[in-house]
Amino acid sequence: MSTATPQKKLRIATCSLAGCFGCHMSFLDVDEALADLIEHIEFDRSPLTDIKHVSAEGVDIGLIEGGLCNKENVEVLREFRARCTTLVAVGACAMYGGVPALRNGIPVSELVAEAYLGTDLHNPQVPCDPELPPLLNKVLPLHEVVPIDVTLAGCPPPAAAFRELILAALAQRAAVIPRTDRHFD
Ligand code: SF4
């Protein structure tokens, strides 16, 4: 009978804020490799599990796709920061704001009017349900609100970068991501 202690699984939380889910799709592109890794990882809050909050006891890695476009995004980010040992900004939107930040040169009131008060609409009105989170004046990258430990460059980062991040964490070493896997096109 083996007396080896089974390795503790790496706990991972993921979320998409002002992103397009492309980074999550790239993560899933790890494909068969994910089948190997799944022996060693387990998902906490994530679109993959539909768990709504990061566990209060915390997780090892938090992967965040997308920047911050509304107040709910900021709350989610702060929860990840408080409960993830290593917080990772995944992709161009999380690192710089990305495509959603193209709105930053236009006042929010003008954007909302353009989207909801168009001339051809019948009874146009701006949605005002209290459950809708207020928009921020500008779309922000994650590091402008909380400290970030690791960035994965790309739009999206390649699957190989996610795999290396996880393998490095399991081996308790720094991730080594080659330059060819750190680009934005
Ligand atoms: Fe989508 Fe690219 Fe932004 Fe990732 S970095 S959320 S793939 S637009």
Tell me the CATH number at 165: 3.40.50.700
| Residue recorded with tokens 């921020």 | 136
Q: Is residue 120 classed as helix, strand or coil in its secondary structure?
A: coil
The rounded Å distance from CA 32 to ligand 1 centre is 23
- Side-chain-side CA neighbours of 147 within 13 Å: the count stands at 6
Domain-located, residue 122:
no
Please indicate, yes or no, if residue 94 is contained in any of the structural domains.
yes
Q: Which two tokens stand for residue 150?
A: 């690791």
Residue 81 lies in a domain: yes
Ligand 1 pocket check for 23: Cβ under 6 Å: yes
Residue 121 lies in a domain: no
Q: How many domains does the chain have?
A: 1
Q: Which domain holds residue 167?
A: 10-103+137-181
Residue 4 has a pLDDT of 55
Residue 118 resides in a domain? no
Determine the residue of 155, 162, 182, 183 to mutate for testing ligand 1's pocket, defined as the one with the most ligand atoms within 8 A of the Cβ atom: 155
pLDDT along the chain (185 residues), means of 10: 66 97 90 78 94 97 98 98 98 97 96 86 87 96 98 94 94 92 78
